[in-house]
Amino acid sequence: MLHSKLLAILLAATTIVTPGTPQGSSGAVAAPEYDPSRPSAQANPDGSISPRPQSQTRSTRSLSACSRYSAAGPIGGQWSTSGPGCSLFGLRGAKHTYSWEMQWFSNAKACVQGRGYNSRRAPYWAGIGCGSGGAYTVGWGEVISTTRVKVKSLSVVTNAPIWWS
């Protein structure tokens, strides 16, 4: 039931929604975080992402632009939340695999968390690895949301810049 509704939601959201004004054809359908100007993709049950059908997107950014973002754990060892990544439209049972690596010029180490959604569409944060890189798959079923990570440098005297997707 939700699957067919979600497809209707995707169509409605991509043609009607503007940032910060979540609404759609049936009243309230788009997530507050959804931003049609950002790169967007479809999250699939096998953990992959794929381009959304042209009929469902007005994004001018390609899927490749959805693939890699920069973030950094700051000096001082605090956790830092990244900016928004890719807008992912999760099909039923969809998963998303976060991956990250240290930027080439840094020999720092970091720990990284990524946001996902469980089988009842409740949010959770998962550890996606510590050290110089890592990957982890989280749930993304029937949610329209933006990927985000939190990064912490394992050194208090150097920051930890990463690439993540």
Partner 1 sequence: MPSHEDITLARLVAPVCVVAAAALLAGCTSHDPQPRATLTPNEPPSPASIEHMEQTSRSLSRRLRCSDATVVTSDLTFFDDARGFDCFSADGEPIFVRVFDESNSVAQVLQDWGPTLLDGRTVVTGPNWFAIGPSAAIEPVTSETGASDASTNIPTPVPLTASQDDANTCIRFIVSAAGQSATERDHFAQMELELDELYPDAAARIRELVEPALAHDIRTAGGIESASFLNILEPIASDLRLICNLTTD
* Site of interaction with partner 1 (CB under 8 A): 2, 5-6, 9, 22, 26, 28-34, 78-79, 109, 111, 113, 115-127, 129-131, 134, 136, 138-139, 142-146, 150, 152, 154
Instruction: Kindly state the smallest distance separating residue 8's Cβ from partner 1, in Å.
Output: 9
Sign, CA dihedral 62-4-94-114, equals positive
Phi, psi of 95 (to 5 degrees): -130, 160
- Residue 137 CA, chain-centre distance (Å), reads 12
Nearer to partner 1, 39 or 64 (CB): 39
Instruction: Kindly state the smallest distance separating residue 27's Cβ from partner 1, in Å.
Output: 8
CA distances from 43 to 103, 109, 115, 116, 161 (A): 26, 29, 14, 12, 26
Residues 6+ apart with CB under 8 A from 89: 6, 10, 40, 41, 42, 43, 52, 56, 144
Nearer to partner 1, 41 or 64 (CB): 41
CB 87, CB 37: distance < 8 Å: no
Nearer to partner 1, 35 or 165 (CB): 35
Instruction: Kindly state the smallest distance separating residue 29's Cβ from partner 1, in Å.
Output: 6
Instruction: Kindly state the smallest distance separating residue 85's Cβ from partner 1, in Å.
Output: 13
Nearer to partner 1, 53 or 127 (CB): 127
